[in-house]
Structure 1
Amino acid sequence: MRQRHSRSVSTPLALAAALLFAGAVSAQDKPVEMKFAHWLPPTHSLSKTGFEPWAKSVEAASKGSIKVALYPAQQLGKAADHYDMARDGIADMTWVNPGYQAGRFPLIAAGELPFLVGKPGTGSAAIDAWYRKYAAQEMKDVKFCFAHLHVGTMHSKKPITEPSQLKGMKIRSSNGTNAAFMTLLGATNVQVSAPEARDALDKGVADAIAFPWDSIVSFGIDKAVKYHTDMRLYASDFVWVMNKGWYDKLAAGQKKVIDDHCNNDWAGKVGAAWGDFEDGGQAKLEKSAGHTIVKLTPQQLDQWKKAAEPLYGQWVQAADKAGFKGQEALGELRKEIEARKAN
């Protein structure tokens, strides 16, 4: 009896000791560094409203066992290469504009369709929630974190009010879908990344640019264009993706921290913070000497929307060709956008 009693006492004690030991090990996860690469200037609004707050939150939640080292301004590679940089382990996390490689990621390009999304915060939450079930198939080389977007317009060297004015112009487009729209309207596309855009405009390689409002200022493009059309012309999708090998080597607790920072809440949070800041750039430009906000009549806006309609059919065809059910997927995205009042 005494021996059985001894066992009954020692077993809970042993279990408690084991749990304490496991907790100590968990609390002392091997420190790791995340190399997070992006191509924006370190002073850019997304750096301050997205990358830096996210990095600090990860470090705090991991009790310092995950250190996030930010590599801005194309330090580790060109803007268009950031998806492959995560895939190949050049960086552990990257910020990617899928539209910089037109046709490679046809499904997420739905978020780029003109006039589909009007609000960047709820729009980001919508595109992220919708894309999560497709990401593992379309971006199978990496671990998907979350998606978000911004909304922008046309900035030019002369006033633009109607789509017919773009015929013969040279436009720096924002992504593959926007480039297809420019082609549809008879413009010539100038394919350069955001950091290279001002140079293209300064040298006359481009006459106008599709860009969000505040980035016109932060990239110094306000020195090259003076007219800004007041409409929600386009959206650009962005994804945060990780190197699979880096993630797989994390301790269980560290993986949970990353998972908790790669969710729909963060997609909406980053999209809203950045989107609100970008939209605030319109007021800055309106107050800047020499800049003109070009207003549209309802009839002119309808012309733009009608001109964009063929792009929806083109997207469905591209999605079908890639093995997705295009019309069904577009319907799902529309429902998600409408449910979140993002349009």
Structure 2
Amino acid sequence: MKLTHLMAAASVAALGTAAQAQETTLALSHWLPPTHPLQTTGMEMWIDAIEEASGGGIAIEIYPAQQLGAAPDHYDMARDGIVDISFINPGYQPGRFPIISAGELPFHIDNAKAGSRAFHEWYQPYAEQEMSDVTVCLVHLHDPGTLHGKEGQLLVPSDIDGKNVRPANGTTARMVNLMGGASVQVPAPEMREALSKGTADITASPWGSLFTFGAQDLVQSHLDVPLYVTVFAFLINTDSLNAMSEENRQVMMDHCTPEWSEKIASGWADAEAEGRQQIIDLGHDLYAPDDAQLQEWKDATAPLVDEWKQTVTDAGIEDADAAYDAFVQKIRDADSMVE
């Protein structure tokens, strides 16, 4: 594999006859295993649609499992032209992308499918401000995640006190801190190692990802609520996009829409939801809070909303209250709000 093949400006471009479209090969890098449902049911479908719509003028090659760089580095990899397209979890760099972290707020989003479309629509006007050195193509969510512990009860916020917790993103890290826990910030591919070595007592994760990353045999206790979602984005190196023919560039942008964000998230959402029953089948302990206990969780996480508003105000948002209200309304209109 040659480095030149991976550099951003449309990796391979060949001029054929006048009747042939310009051909472009793009490198897409991500940090999930190649068997992950986001690749098998999402990325591959998206790529097939692009290749078909371009009449073979665009080819996209996938490099999974951190082959080209660590998970937290994927934004910079797209920005710097190390790859043409990258898949990122903005929450792996807490504080760097405060606006998009609205989607991480606990007890807000409970539907990764329609929620992905709605969140993309809400974030789109902010993307150029917050991620101006790349082209934001897709913005989507995973199915709601929760907390999974090695032992002991997971029922009320005080159960987090004094524990080491691997959060999913910067917002869940702050949640853990508010409850008296210590956050151990490692990406999902390192979840199993953190649990097995005792670095983490508890991990945040959607249900199915426990199996994807081999952690299902290291946890026994599960908080049975839709606690949070994580936001993801597909980014395109802007020079790569601009180097494409006008026709190919339009094909790419036609596949960078809220509708495609929902499509690419849907298969993964289904797979994550199936994981809960798999955990039940293993005989694990699921703790479902009653109404009063659930209110304890909501009260404990409520300060995160005001923290988000202050953070985005500091980042240049003139009316954080209006931005938050628009976010909630967009999610509610999509029937994706935790009520």
Q: Could you state the TM-score of these two structures normalised by the residue count of structure 1?
A: 0.91
Cα RMSD (Å) of the superposition?
1.3
Aligned partner (choices 277, 281, 289) of residue 287 of structure 1: 281
Aligned partner (choices 21, 29, 32) of residue 29 of structure 1: 21
Kindly indicate whether residue 282 of structure 2 is the aligned counterpart of residue 257 of structure 1.
no
Structure-2 separation of matches of 1:27 and 1:334? 49
Aligned partner (choices 307, 311, 332) of residue 300 of structure 2: 307
8 Å CA contact 1:122, 1:271 repeated in 2: no
Aligned partner (choices 259, 266, 279) of residue 260 of structure 2: 266
Kindly indicate whether residue 82 of structure 2 is the aligned counterpart of residue 82 of structure 1.
no
Aligned partner (choices 115, 120, 127) of residue 135 of structure 1: 127
Aligned partner (choices 27, 30, 36) of residue 38 of structure 1: 30
Kindly indicate whether residue 170 of structure 2 is the aligned counterpart of residue 176 of structure 1.
yes
Kindly indicate whether residue 154 of structure 2 is the aligned counterpart of residue 160 of structure 1.
yes
8 Å CA contact 1:26, 1:253 repeated in 2: no
Question: Greater helix percent: which structure?
Answer: 1
8 Å CA contact 1:166, 1:185 repeated in 2: yes
Aligned partner (choices 216, 221, 232) of residue 227 of structure 1: 221
Kindly indicate whether residue 130 of structure 2 is the aligned counterpart of residue 120 of structure 1.
no
Q: Which residue of structure 2 lines up, in the alignment, with residue 241 of structure 1?
A: 235
Deviation at 1:157, TM superposition (A): 1.0
Structure-2 separation of matches of 1:129 and 1:25? 40
Deviation at 1:25, TM superposition (A): 6.9
CA distances 1:188-223 after superposition (whole Å, capped 9, x unpaired): 000111111100100000001000111100110102
Q: Which residue of structure 2 lines up, in the alignment, with residue 336 of structure 1?
A: 330
CA distances 1:80-116 after superposition (whole Å, capped 9, x unpaired): 0000000011110000100100000000000100001
Secondary structure of residue in 2 paired with 1:116: coil
8 Å CA contact 1:36, 1:68 repeated in 2: yes
Kindly indicate whether residue 61 of structure 2 is the aligned counterpart of residue 102 of structure 1.
no
- Percentage identity across paired residues of the two chains: 42
- Greater Rg, structure 1 or structure 2? 1
Structure-1 separation of matches of 2:162 and 2:116? 33
8 Å CA contact 2:222, 2:286 repeated in 1: yes
Secondary structure of residue in 2 paired with 1:223: coil
Q: Flag as ranges the 4+ runs of structure 1 deviating above 6 A.
A: none
Aligned partner (choices 198, 201, 204) of residue 198 of structure 2: 204
Aligned partner (choices 179, 185, 191) of residue 185 of structure 1: 179
Secondary structure of residue in 1 paired with 2:61: strand
Amino acid at match of 2:286: I
Segments of structure 2 that go 5 or more residues without pairing to the other structure are 1-15
8 Å CA contact 2:145, 2:206 repeated in 1: yes
Deviation at 1:26, TM superposition (A): 7.6
Aligned partner (choices 30, 45, 49) of residue 53 of structure 1: 45
Deviation at 1:27, TM superposition (A): 5.3
Kindly indicate whether residue 84 of structure 2 is the aligned counterpart of residue 92 of structure 1.
yes
Q: Which residue of structure 2 lines up, in the alignment, with residue 298 of structure 1?
A: 291
Question: May I ask how many residue pairs the two structures share in their alignment?
Answer: 319
Segments of structure 1 that go 5 or more residues without pairing to the other structure are 1-23
Deviation at 1:292, TM superposition (A): 2.5
Q: Could you state the TM-score of these two structures normalised by the residue count of structure 2?
A: 0.92
Deviation at 1:60, TM superposition (A): 1.3
8 Å CA contact 1:120, 1:149 repeated in 2: yes
8 Å CA contact 1:125, 1:271 repeated in 2: no
8 Å CA contact 2:38, 2:265 repeated in 1: no
Amino acid at match of 1:118: D
